[in-house]
Amino acid sequence: MPIRLCNDRFDCWRFALASMLLFAIAAWRGEAPRLPARLQPWLILTGTVQFGLNYRSVYEAERYVPSGLVAVVFSLMVFGNAASGAWFFGQPITWRFAVSAVVGVTGVALIFWPKVLAAGARPQALVGLAFSLGAVACACTGNSLTLMLSRRGVPLVPMLAWGMAYGALSLLLVAGLSGSGWRVGHTAVWWGSLVYLAAVGSVLAFLLYFKLVQREGPARAALTGVLVPVIALAVSAALEGWQPSLASWIGMALCLGSVYVATRPIRLVDCTLT
């Protein structure tokens, strides 16, 4: 990718635009955009963690390690979500799901295996790994907070609108303090990317994701982290001529197989870990 568009400055405007779109959707659906003042501290925390610290940690991680390794570490979110679902929401973890999750993460590691090996030669690889794990922790925490608020009756669309607004503010503050500035871009590519990521990559993606969290629980929803690399590489193969290696083929097969097995209807013979 010759031009790197995603950074604190870009994402603050991305989430700001996404927040405005969500408020418009809430109004169109007849949902009151104003939420009680007692919820605002929770919304500030959720938005800052989910859309601020999470994305900031990913960008910091990619300064020290390849993005492929960050993707591998981020797939570990399936375990963090499963643990939080069990501890805070009483959702059981079956042995079948646990084994499927291990296989799926192994598949992601195989897909990016050359980049994983290359990360070991970097002098500050541990710093990048720490930021990657921090991003995972932020994502898992944000998921739990969103599900908690949802179960308390807070409607999803206004909740995400406020969360993205606070996330945008936190990234705007970071951009200002880091010296990257608050300026907007002046090219069609910049604006096109902004609109696409706000509408599709933020509004649509997070609405669908958190609908999945509400319906299937945070653990199963986190399996999207296993599927995303497969989809991304399929697009890369179709549009950019990427040639998968044998390890990549095996990794993609493990990813798809693990999601298939993990999402089959639970039978009585399945044992639970929690």
Specify the pTM. Answer: 0.83
Give tens-digit pLDDT for 75-84.
888 888 888 8
- Domain that includes residue 213, residue range: 8-262
pLDDT at 180 over 80: no
Confidence of residue 1 (pLDDT cuts 50, 70, 90): very low
Residue 269 lies in a domain: no
Residue 95 lies in a domain: yes
Confidence of residue 156 (pLDDT cuts 50, 70, 90): very high
**Can you tell me the mean pLDDT for 160-164?**
96
pLDDT at 157 over 50: yes
pLDDT at 62 over 70: yes
Residue 267 lies in a domain: no
Q: What is the 3-state secondary structure (H, E, C) of 118-153?
A: HHCCCCCHHHHHHHHHHHHHHHHHHHHHHHHHHHCC
Residue 146 lies in a domain: yes
The total domain count for the chain is 1
User: Tokens representing 11?
Assistant: 């994402």
Give tens-digit pLDDT for 86-134.
888 888 888 888 898 899 899 988 888 877 777 666 677 888 889 999 9
> How much is the pLDDT for 173?
86
Residue 3 lies in a domain: no
Percent of the chain exceeding pLDDT 90 equals: 36
Give the residue with greater pLDDT, 167 vs 269: 167
Locus of tokens 């932020």: 138
> How much is the pLDDT for 2?
33
Confidence of residue 3 (pLDDT cuts 50, 70, 90): very low
Average pLDDT, the chain: 85
Residue 157 lies in a domain: yes
Residue 244 lies in a domain: yes
User: Tokens representing 27?
Assistant: 């109004």
Burial group, residue 90, by CB count within 10 angstroms (0-12, 13-18, 19+): exposed
Residue 188 lies in a domain: yes
Give the residue with greater pLDDT, 126 vs 145: 145
pLDDT at 202 over 80: yes
Phi-psi map region of 97: left, alpha, beta (phi>0 left; psi -120 to 50 alpha): alpha
Distance CA 164, CA 143 (A): 13
